[in-house]
Structure 1
């Protein structure tokens, strides 16, 4: 297969001078049979839960899954890379470039092809500096989405979405200048986006500035920090009324990592794909068990702020703060692996890129806001003779929620089923569950309740490139709701059964 891939690219490669080989990087095919809830049938839940079928998506994941990637894990995809590296005509300077495309297969059989942060890089290595040191300039001609702030993908920010979806059609290119020494690095960079100005009804340029640094204080201890400032255009609703109300965002992120026996890495999604043998080995080599103890612990935090429209005060804006904290700990002892994952996200952080809820508005005064918090622990044990790795994960989550003193759903003239104040559970960006108005015999206001989840897992490696993966999970969630007609014929939120039992079975090839 790899030979066929290289032959397919020979025509392109032959147009340039000799360079490092190009390849399809991180190709995976996933054949899945799953059911996100065997206790429910079609039409019984929101979102809908069809019977067991071939295929799966985000609905088949739990709140602690995919913390360091934007993918669900069930996709069939490939990162196509055309990469070239060559010494420049000037001493100490090296040039490289990579055309990186994400090829993502849709369930319908169609294929999406997107730029995956293609780049051109110049690296200057002053005399006396080691091979891993240098001063580099990286340009992202189409999308600088992978140039982000933050360190765990779930709470990273500053990607293309920071300018809101209004900038997506024109792309968000950018550039980065970085100096890298043996035990520290520092960078500065920026992005631009074209966005519609509703006052003049023309596109205008908006800017984002980013900077950061990291320092290996000890061989086992690293400290990193970064910050950014972004222009997000005008509040659309006010601009159409002739009021100029800019939306600007700024924030800082920091991380401290202590590691023994394992290198400090970043999310796979942050890396610039290229056919570097070290990176290739890290992506695709089976898990290694060299024996002994190794571990890493990281604590990360971010504080962001952006100006949004102030409710009930026409034309006024106010800053809205947003906070996120993540704790990750992983340890390996001989054939045993254990992990701990904790997360705190304020509701304003979850909705930061929208921005706000409703969009471009701050929460009304008196709104009861609850952050998302969860803690999950897991372990697995490798049986080398069988190439088999069973494991488990358990977790508890307090989902984010809000209860406004005035209706915020349904606009200025909400439908009858949304009149009154209600608790709204926010599971992720714009993923809402509206709770009934009252709960219990006393007529108390409904509140978001903790969600409990447990999962048993196994991985059976059949070869270096093919593995069978299985998961069985149970979730207890009393915040599940759907809309049903009441006695007057008006659809009202009502609780679903809190129990969910699901499974995912997958045969996956990676090459």
Structure 2
């Protein structure tokens, strides 16, 4: 009987719809041995720099790395995707759905599972329209984080965190209605979030609206624009005083792309994962070299604004503007690749989702603000017979910084080491380096200084799925600081050694 039941079960499974060999989409296993700074030991820097070890993280990346993805590149991860597409009972209508879950392994060996913008889509193709044209309605039941505005991931906005991090625990679902034609597209959409109202101490619904369009002016030139409006709740500090002060944000983004020999792409993190064999893409696949010249140049910009508490006038809000500009240029000539990357981000743009610095407050009058700016150039060459690709990249960055009339990071009663006017370097969202109050023998106020970085790389493809990757990088960053006690026992910021030398070695499998 046991044998009979086994045969019957096997038969039933064979009648079910076949599973595609790709239900785990974009799987990446990374075995890493690295040291983010061989010139420093444990406890000598902030953040801490242990000796060479197995494993790596964001400390092992440079400011020009991972411009179009949220990942560091050292993770072991996969996207579990269960996808189904079927023609509807009505002519011209197609239904599809994807349950996509991000599976991310932590250094401890634990596994984190997170919805990665699962969706249900209805697509209607009117008579006479092309196969890739249609009117689609997409619903994101749990998270619409990958439905964003902007085009390069580093300066994208409108994800789940646009409602502040207090909304992400409850999920940020949404919907998108889009018309796609051969040479243009347009869409509208929206999101909702649940955030605690600090006045009534109950959750309330916040709304966001988004719209955008793009058109191929020429076969080689595309123009795109998008905008959005989002509620962010009320300012907690004023709510504690019984004052309702809503935080509302809005913005617009635009991009122009000129491309020859390569299609117009989007950030990997914006694409909806699926395992349909007809549209399946392997984002971690090795680079292809079809020969000839191909290149693309894109220029995008965003202007955002939001209402924050006025630190100079009690119980008042003021608008705070935020700006970002990105330039990306890539060229491929046979086996040679060249690229240029440039970025401008105002400090308010970096902190836009927090929102502000400190949270929910504008900068006081008289604050000196400086934006983040960097430019990086690089090249690599593929040695076909050896399956080896050596490369080099170098860049210079002026980090964002601010200096207010009174230091904002010490609280209402700051200790002596955190008082007075001083410069604070903002490397990324809430990543601060506090500089000493004075520099040099002339006792001038310390200013943020440029950061220099250069990196040599190689990639050796051992098979279609496994590659060895190596990086050696040098940085000169005179903005590095740590806190150490002075002669009176008060912790004061002190400069660290500006020189940094690190390496990353990876054995990475992709399938």
TM-score, normalising length: structure 2: 0.96
Match of 1:461 in 2: 461
- Stretches of structure 1 that go unaligned for 5 or more consecutive residues are 1-9
Q: Quote how far apart the aligned CAs of 1:287 are.
A: 1.3
Match of 1:92 in 2: 92
Alpha-carbon distance change, 271 to 12 in structure 1, aligned in 2, over 3 angstroms: farther
Q: State how far apart, in whole Å, the 2-side matches of 1:51 and 1:277 are.
A: 45
CA contact (8 A) 1:21 1:83 kept: no
CA contact (8 A) 1:304 1:321 kept: yes
What pairs up with 1:238-387 in 2 under 5 angstroms? 238-277=238-277, 280-387=280-387
Secondary structure of 1:280's counterpart equals coil
CA contact (8 A) 1:83 1:96 kept: yes
Q: State how far apart, in whole Å, the 1-side matches of 2:504 and 2:56 are.
A: 8
Q: Quote how far apart the aligned CAs of 1:286 are.
A: 2.3
Q: State how far apart, in whole Å, the 1-side matches of 2:285 and 2:498 are.
A: 40
Q: State how far apart, in whole Å, the 2-side matches of 1:93 and 1:423 are.
A: 59
CA contact (8 A) 1:135 1:179 kept: yes
Give a deviation string over 1:165-191, Cα, whole Å, max 9, x none.
111111000000000000000000000
CA contact (8 A) 1:382 1:390 kept: yes
CA contact (8 A) 2:403 2:421 kept: yes
Alpha-carbon distance change, 96 to 107 in structure 1, aligned in 2, over 3 angstroms: same
Secondary structure of 1:166's counterpart equals coil
CA contact (8 A) 2:23 2:81 kept: yes
Q: Quote how far apart the aligned CAs of 1:15 are.
A: 11
Q: Quote how far apart the aligned CAs of 1:415 are.
A: 2.1
Secondary structure of 2:242's counterpart equals coil
Alpha-carbon distance change, 259 to 338 in structure 1, aligned in 2, over 3 angstroms: same
Tell me whether 1:211 sits opposite 2:208 in the alignment: no
CA contact (8 A) 1:19 1:86 kept: no
Q: State how far apart, in whole Å, the 2-side matches of 1:71 and 1:224 are.
A: 25
Q: Quote how far apart the aligned CAs of 1:413 are.
A: 1.2
CA contact (8 A) 1:22 1:82 kept: no
CA contact (8 A) 1:199 1:242 kept: yes
Match of 1:5 in 2: none
What pairs up with 1:475-486 in 2 under 5 angstroms? 475-486=475-486
Match of 1:472 in 2: 472
Tell me whether 1:490 sits opposite 2:490 in the alignment: yes
Q: Quote how far apart the aligned CAs of 1:22 are.
A: 5.8
Q: State how far apart, in whole Å, the 2-side matches of 1:19 and 1:388 are.
A: 35
Match of 1:6 in 2: none
Tell me whether 1:163 sits opposite 2:163 in the alignment: yes
Q: Quote how far apart the aligned CAs of 1:285 are.
A: 3.6
CA contact (8 A) 2:331 2:339 kept: yes
CA contact (8 A) 2:83 2:276 kept: no
Tell me whether 1:69 sits opposite 2:37 in the alignment: no
What pairs up with 1:56-205 in 2 under 5 angstroms? 56-205=56-205
Q: State how far apart, in whole Å, the 2-side matches of 1:311 and 1:127 are.
A: 59
Secondary structure of 2:167's counterpart equals helix
Give a deviation string over 1:8-35, Cα, whole Å, max 9, x none.
xx99999986786761000010000000
Match of 1:52 in 2: 52
Q: State how far apart, in whole Å, the 2-side matches of 1:18 and 1:395 are.
A: 49
Give a deviation string over 1:320-363, Cα, whole Å, max 9, x none.
00000000000000110000000000000000000000000000
Q: State how far apart, in whole Å, the 2-side matches of 1:251 and 1:294 are.
A: 33
Q: Quote how far apart the aligned CAs of 1:47 are.
A: 0.2
Alpha-carbon distance change, 11 to 405 in structure 1, aligned in 2, over 3 angstroms: farther
Q: Quote how far apart the aligned CAs of 1:292 are.
A: 1.1
Q: State how far apart, in whole Å, the 1-side matches of 2:55 and 2:11 are.
A: 35
CA contact (8 A) 2:25 2:282 kept: no
Q: State how far apart, in whole Å, the 2-side matches of 1:354 and 1:206 are.
A: 16
Q: Quote how far apart the aligned CAs of 1:76 are.
A: 0.3
Give a deviation string over 1:27-59, Cα, whole Å, max 9, x none.
010000000000000000000000000000000
Give a deviation string over 1:435-458, Cα, whole Å, max 9, x none.
000001111000000000000000
Give a deviation string over 1:113-146, Cα, whole Å, max 9, x none.
0000000000000000000000000000000000
Q: Quote how far apart the aligned CAs of 1:280 are.
A: 3.4
Give a deviation string over 1:291-323, Cα, whole Å, max 9, x none.
111000000000000000000311100000000
Secondary structure of 1:161's counterpart equals helix
Alpha-carbon distance change, 22 to 41 in structure 1, aligned in 2, over 3 angstroms: closer
Q: Quote how far apart the aligned CAs of 1:70 are.
A: 0.1
State the number of aligned residues: 502
Match of 2:225 in 1: 225
Match of 2:394 in 1: 394
CA contact (8 A) 1:81 1:101 kept: yes
CA contact (8 A) 2:26 2:282 kept: no
Q: State how far apart, in whole Å, the 1-side matches of 2:386 and 2:363 are.
A: 55
Q: State how far apart, in whole Å, the 2-side matches of 1:15 and 1:155 are.
A: 48
